[in-house]
């Protein structure tokens, strides 16, 4: 279906579109549910008082319109020399989120991400949330965040156990003499220590 | 003609018509509701302006809200600086407004200093006209009271432009100064006073109805609206949830470039609001 943009605010990615003989306001996040049918008067007001510009660009479908609006928006940001924000800055917005929304996300992490196996995603979310004053001061949120981190921690321990169980087999099968001489426990203990310090040799600080 | 003089001149008529309304409410047994409505408007009225994120960001960065004429003037100067040809201001405004330029230009040019007029809406609570922008910028009451020019019009001012001219007879009846705003609002919402619950009054006074037919009392001033005049900025929880969704995208995968920028702009707004000591209310 051909869709025409009749007015657009490129700096915000908002547009009035004509579908057949009906006009809709299309705005981020561009969900179909957020399209509002409007009258011609609303377009007039937007153009006369709200900084919208007239347009007559046509597209083959709504996804093309959305892609165009997103591209135009990004271009307008770049044209003004605005650099893409860092990941850290993107998450700063969480600081101001109402408790209700933070709780929703902690629930999502616990009830959706963890069952889907996205435990590290859930954990990094919980890590960031637990630093927020709002979470620190809210027992319910704090408990949920801690619960997620406990699941993650348990999972990490499990992974470690699995790794070392597999290693036992490798030692026994491939290095039987070493196992005979140092015992499997001794070898694993040494290997854990190396893994923990991240280097083969133990270096004393300040040592030559 | 001076719009603000018209507003002052309508005071006696508003008082007279409101006395009649009070009488009708007494007869219908709804005097209490009428009195409560008047009290509520007296105590809570503010001017609000709904803005999109980039618009508010510019207000906070530049320190002042600019009307359509100033925005066009700025753009023209920018083009001139860049060595690009620009078209005359009035023509640019018409081009920008397209075939629907007339009502705004006709209304503004009917009054003294028409190109200095800035429009907002009366607000006694709530998110304002979110179809105009998700961020409801509310001006401090004491600041609005200090504006040397402030008038309220019963409807969107463009609705008074009929056959290429302002219907002054109608407008003269429908305009008030700040002292008589409760009377104008009560006259407009006579049927709502009895019908609507007290906690819904704010959304009745300033709302979208049907296919984006906005119902609001328009506020007009020619005073400069500065960022320091802002009392609070309101945003819906639903809208904030969208932003939080963008932020959470970043945990699972790379965030879309446009969503990243949107978060960045909101983050910038929040920082600037904090610097000015203005609260962002998520409601």
The answer, yes or no, to whether residue A157 has pLDDT greater than 70, is yes
pLDDT of residue B128: 94
Q: Please answer yes or no on whether B68 and A9 come within 8 Å at the CB atom.
A: no
CB contacts < 8 A (A, B): 138
How far is the alpha carbon of B97 from chain A, nearest alpha carbon, in Å? 5
Inter-chain contact B250–A85, Cβ cutoff 8 Å? no
A90 → closest Cβ in B55, B103, B250: B250
Distance CA B168, CA B9 (A): 13
Contact B100 A124 (CB under 8 A): no
B160 touches chain A (CB under 8 A): no
Task: Give the minimum alpha-carbon distance from A1 to chain B in angstroms, rounded to a whole number.
Answer: 22
Query: Which of B49, B50, B207, B264 has the highest number of chain A CBs within 10 A, making it the mutation to test binding with A?
Result: B264
Give the residues of chain B that fall short of pLDDT 70. 79, 82-101, 210-212
Look up residue A58 and give its DSSP letter: E
- The answer as to whether B232 is a domain residue is no
Range list of β-strands (E), B140-263: 151-153, 161-162, 165-166, 175-177, 207-209, 213-215, 218-221, 230-235
Q: Where are the beta strands (DSSP E) in chain A?
A: 3-9, 14-19, 22-26, 36-38, 53-59
Confidence band for A208, pLDDT divided at 50, 70 and 90: very low
Residue A51: which of B71, B104, B252 has the nearest Cβ? B71
With 0-12 CB in 10 A as exposed, 13-18 as middle and 19+ as buried, what is B45? Answer: buried
Q: Is residue B233 part of a domain?
A: no
Strand partners, B215: B207
Determine the Cα–Cα distance for residues A179 and A38; give it in Å rounded to an integer.
78
Cβ contact B71–A85 (<8 Å): no
- Tell me the residue length of chain B: 283
- Please tell me if residue B263 touches chain A, with a CB cutoff of 8 Å: yes
Confidence at residue B247, expressed as pLDDT on a 0 to 100 scale: 82
Q: Which of B101, B260, B280 lies closest to A90 in CB terms? A: B260
Q: A46-83 as b/e, with b when 16 or more CB fall inside 10 Å?
A: bbbbbbbbbbeeebeebeebbebbbebbbebbeeeeee
* B211 interface with A at CB cutoff 8 Å: yes
Residue B192 phi, psi (nearest 5):
-70, -30
Does B264 lie at the interface with A, CB-CB under 8 angstroms?
A: yes
Residue B215 is part of which domain span? 3-67+117-225
Contact B193, B21 (CB under 8 A): no
Chain A contact present for B281, CB below 8 A = no
Q: Kindly state whether residue B249 falls inside one of the protein's structural domains.
A: no
Structure confidence by residue, pLDDT tens digits, A164-187: 777 788 888 888 888 888 888 888
B59 in Cβ contact with B65 (< 8 Å): yes
Q: Give residue A202's pLDDT.
A: 67
Name which of B72, B74, B100 to mutate to probe chain A: the one with the most chain A Cβ atoms within 10 A of its Cβ. Answer: B100
- What residues of chain B lie within 8 A of the CB of A97, using their CB? 240, 244, 282
Tell me if A48 and B103 make a contact (CB, 8 A cut-off): yes
Report residue A101 as tokens.
């929304």
Query: Cis omega (within 30 of 0) on the bond before A65?
Result: no
Chain A residues in contact with B158 by the CB 8 A cut-off are: 44-45, 48
Q: What band does A195 get if pLDDT is binned at 50, 70 and 90?
A: confident
Cβ-Cβ contacts under 8 Å for B44 (sequence gap 6 or more): B124, B125, B202
Separation CA B90–CA B92 (nearest Å): 5
Closest chain A residue by Cα to residue B157? A45
Chain A residue nearest residue B105, CA to CA: A48
How many domains are there within chain B? 1
B170 contacts B136 by C-beta, under 8 angstroms: no
Instruction: Report the C-alpha gap between A46 and B92 in whole angstroms.
Output: 16
Nearest chain B Cα distance for residue A103, angstroms: 12
In a domain, B17, yes or no: yes
Res A203: pLDDT: 66
What does the pLDDT read at residue B134? Answer: 94
ipTM greater than 0.90, yes or no?
no
Residues B256, A70: C-beta atoms closer than 8 Å: yes
Checking if the pLDDT of A207 tops 50, the result is no
Nearest to B257 among A47, A74, A87 (CB): A74
- Tell me how many helices (H) and strands (E) chain A has: 9, 5
**Residue B7's closest CA among B111, B161, B109, B139?**
B111
Min Cα distance A201 → chain B (Å) is 36
Residues B100, A93: C-beta atoms closer than 8 Å = no
Q: Is residue B73 included in any domain, yes or no?
A: no
The answer to whether residues B207 and B255 touch, using CB atoms and an 8 Å cutoff, is no
Say if the Cβ atoms of B98 and A77 lie within 8 Å.
no
Token digits of residue A172: 């026994």
A63-72, A100-109, B47-56, B226-235: segment of lowest average pLDDT:
A100-109
């Amino acid at each position: 279906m051909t869709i025409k943009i009749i007015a657009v605010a490129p700096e915000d990615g908002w547009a009035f579109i004509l579908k057949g003989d009906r006009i809709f306001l299309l705005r981020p996040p561009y969900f179909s549910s957020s399209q509002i049918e409007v009258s011609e008067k609303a377009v007039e007001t937007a153009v006369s008082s709200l900084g919208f510009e007239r347009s007559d660009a046509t597209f083959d479908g709504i996804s093309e319109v959305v892609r165009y609006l997103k591209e135009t928006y990004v271009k307008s940001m770049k044209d003004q020399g605005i650099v893409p924000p860092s990941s850290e800055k993107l998450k700063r917005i969480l600081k101001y989120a109402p408790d209700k929304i933070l709780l929703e996300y902690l629930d999502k992490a616990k009830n959706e991400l963890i069952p889907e196996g996205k435990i590290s995603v859930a954990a990094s979310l919980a890590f960031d949330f637990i630093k927020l004053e709002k979470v620190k001061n809210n027992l319910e949120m704090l408990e949920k965040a801690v619960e997620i981190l406990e699941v993650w921690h348990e999972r990490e321990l499990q992974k470690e156990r699995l790794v070392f169980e597999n290693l036992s087999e490798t030692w026994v099968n491939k290095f039987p003499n070493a196992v005979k001489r140092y015992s499997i426990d001794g070898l694993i203990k040494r290997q854990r220590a190396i893994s923990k310090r991240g280097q083969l040799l133990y270096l004393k600080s300040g040592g030559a | 003609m001076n719009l603000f003089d018209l507003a002052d001149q309508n005071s006696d008529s508003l008082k007279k018509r409101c006395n009649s309304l009070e009488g009708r409410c007494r007869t219908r047994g709804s005097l209490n509701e009428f009195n409560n409505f008047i009290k509520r408007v007296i105590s809570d009225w503010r001017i609000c302006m709904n803005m999109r994120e980039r618009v508010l960001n510019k207000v906070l960065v530049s320190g002042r809200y600019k009307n359509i004429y100033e925005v066009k003037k700025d753009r023209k100067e920018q083009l001139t600086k860049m060595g690009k040809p620009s078209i005359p201001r009035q023509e640019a405004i018409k081009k920008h407004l397209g075939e629907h330029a007339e009502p705004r230009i006709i209304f503004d040019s009917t009054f003294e200093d028409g190109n200095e007029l800035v429009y907002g809406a009366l607000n006694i609570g709530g998110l304002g006209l979110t179809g105009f922008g998700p961020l409801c910028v509310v001006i401090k009451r004491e600041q609005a009271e200090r504006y040397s020019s402030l008038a309220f019009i019963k409807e969107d001012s463009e609705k008074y432009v009929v056959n290429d001219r302002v219907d002054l007879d109608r407008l003269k009846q429908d305009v008030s100064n700040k002292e008589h705003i409760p009377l104008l609002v009560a006259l407009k919402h006579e049927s709502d006073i009895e019908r609507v619950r007290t906690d819904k009054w704010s959304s009745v006074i300033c709302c979208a109805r049907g296919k984006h037919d906005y119902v609001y009392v328009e506020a007009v001033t020619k005073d400069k609206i500065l960022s320091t005049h802002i009392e609070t900025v309101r945003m819906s929880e639903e809208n904030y949830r969208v932003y939080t969704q963008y932020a959470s995208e970043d945990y699972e995968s790379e965030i879309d470039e446009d969503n990243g920028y949107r978060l960045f702009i909101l983050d910038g707004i929040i920082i600037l609001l904090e610097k000015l000591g203005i609260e962002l209310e998520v409601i």
